[in-house]
Structure formats: structure tokens, C-alpha cells
Amino acid sequence: MKCGILGGTFNPIHTGHLILAENAYDALKLDQVLFMPSGVSYLKDRREILPAKDRIRMVELAIENNPHFVLSTIETDRDGNSYTVDTLRILKDELPDAELFFIGGADILMSIHTWREPDQILQMADLVIAPRDFTEYQALQTQKAMLEEQYGATVILLDTPDLAISSSMIRERIRQKQSIRYYVPDAVIAYIREHQLYNTDNE
């Protein structure tokens, strides 16, 4: 089985995440893509992050009509900081015959060598990288070559649109009472409104 992994805070999940996952699924002929909300991230400002139950529910609503998108709560079920290397080890135990593809943006490609045990991460999963934030293609190619030489990594540069959508931008649009229609699935918008999420009064 070929299994994609798209991790993230999903605070909230947005159209860019879904397009990236669908492009990876199609281009690599994956069997499924796991959407994996992060637990406690040592890289994020925790004051901005919604409780896991809300982020999980928004992911469920966003992917419910796509049979090859699957929610995974591996990281939110664990206590303490979430490290990718630990997550991949759990997945390898649960899916011993699966070929794993770790999907992300250019920021992941440029920083993964600084993560915990990058050699182990890059042995357990292929990297599938989409352009993001208009990172120069030559910089991506240089970093790709370094990871392949230093770690024996397999790095796949995905041909997918560079959509300038971010969760932080969506949160700011909500605070400014601007529309987020088409940035976020309708079911997720309804959930945000019903639960009054991201209002400045709640921070």
C-alpha cells in the first residue's frame, strides 16, 4: 500500500491542504492520504492553537466526502511534544507493508535536516514537496540534492499550484470579519461560526 501523510496544525484546515493532498494522491498513485492533526508542537505558539477536538472535527468535516482521505489521530492521542520521527515509527508498526510518503511544502524541505533524527525520518518515508511561498526552484533543487547525498533521501518535487493560503491568514480574516468562503470548505465555515472560533474575544 502507498500511503501519503499530510500533517499539520490544521488551525483551521483549508483548501490549500486539500488541493495539495489530492495532487499528491493523483501524481503518486497513492492508496490513501492520512490527514494528521498535530498534537503539542514545540515549534508553534500554543496560545494560537485550538484544542485538538476542534481541529480534528474540522478535518473530519473537510474530508468526509473523499473516500481516499483518512483522519489519523496518532499525534493528538499522544502526550507531550509531537516529533515526526516518533509518528513514523508508530505508522511503520501499524502498517508494516506500507510505503510512506511524507507530504509538505517547501518549508519542510528547507528545514527537515534540523528536525529530530532526520536520517531516520528520511529512511522511513519519501519526501513529497510542493512549492510554497514562492521559494526559488533552484533553492529547492539544491536542498533536494543535499538531502539525497547526505541521507540517501528520496525527494519528489510535486507539480502543484502554489496557493498563497495559510491558516494564519484565515484566522486574521475571521478577526477582521472578512469572508473566508472558498478558502475553507463550507462545512468547516459552519463549524467555525457555530462554535465562534478564532474570535478575538476568546483569546
Model pTM greater than 0.95? no
What pLDDT, on the 0 to 100 scale, is given for residue 203? 36
- The DSSP code sequence of 186-197 is HHHHHHHHHTTT
- List, for the chain, all residue ranges whose pLDDT scores fall below the cut of 50: 200-203
Q: Which residue has the cell 472558498?
A: 182
186 closest CA partner among 65, 104, 76, 70? 65
As a whole number of Å, the CA-based R_g of the chain is 17
Question: Could you tell me the CATH superfamily of domain 2-163?
Answer: HUPs (3.40.50.620)
8: left (phi over 0), alpha (psi -120 to 50) or beta: left
Q: Are strands 125-130 and 32-37 parallel, antiparallel or unpaired?
A: unpaired
Q: CB 58: neighbour CB atoms within 10 A?
A: 26
What pLDDT, on the 0 to 100 scale, is given for residue 131? 77
pLDDT in tens, 167-178: 999 999 999 999
Neighbour-count burial of 176, counting CB atoms closer than 10 A to its CB (0-12 exposed, 13-18 middle, 19+ buried): exposed
Q: Is 18 helix (H, G, I), strand (E, B) or coil?
A: helix
130 pairs with which residues across the strands? 105
What pLDDT, on the 0 to 100 scale, is given for residue 138? 87
Order of strands, edge to edge, in the sheet holding 99-105? Answer: 69-71, 32-37, 2-8, 99-105, 125-130, 155-157
The secondary structure of residue 182, as a DSSP letter, is: T
Distance CA 111, CA 103 (A): 14
What pLDDT, on the 0 to 100 scale, is given for residue 136? 81
Alpha-carbon distances of 19 from 15, 42, 58, rounded to whole Å: 6, 27, 16
Sequence ranges of the domains in the chain: 2-163
What pLDDT, on the 0 to 100 scale, is given for residue 89? 97
